[in-house]
Amino acid sequence: MKVKKDFVARKVGDSDIVVATGKAVKNFNGYITLNETGRFLWDLLENETDEKNLVAKLLEEYEVEKEVAERDVKKFIAVLSENGILE
């Protein structure tokens, strides 16, 4: 899985946001705000990866229990999937 090319993350002030570009604007109005962890996962999703790798990278980068990392990755992927952001 990876982020579709018509979605980009940008820094706006102190916030990281995801917006649609191109044809994706027709189906996605608005934006998603990313926290630090969300931006970390977003950057990983710019290239083809899987849930297991995202969890492993999260565990390498942050001091978090495996169960928490797995739950958070699942939630993040679910939000992106529900909004048609992942391919």
pTM of the model: 0.91
46 close to 34: Cβ distance less than 8 angstroms? no
Percent of the chain with pLDDT over 70: 100
Amino acid identity, position 80: L
In tens, the pLDDT along 32-64 reads 999 999 999 999 999 999 999 999 999 999 999
Q: Which residues of 5-23 are buried (b: 16+ CB within 10 A; e: fewer)?
A: ebbebeeeeeebbbbbeee
pLDDT of 28 over the 90 cut: no
Q: How crowded is the C-beta side of 16, counted as CA atoms within 13 Å?
A: 13
- With vertex at residue 43, the alpha carbon angle to CA 40 and CA 67, rounded to the nearest 5 degrees, is 45
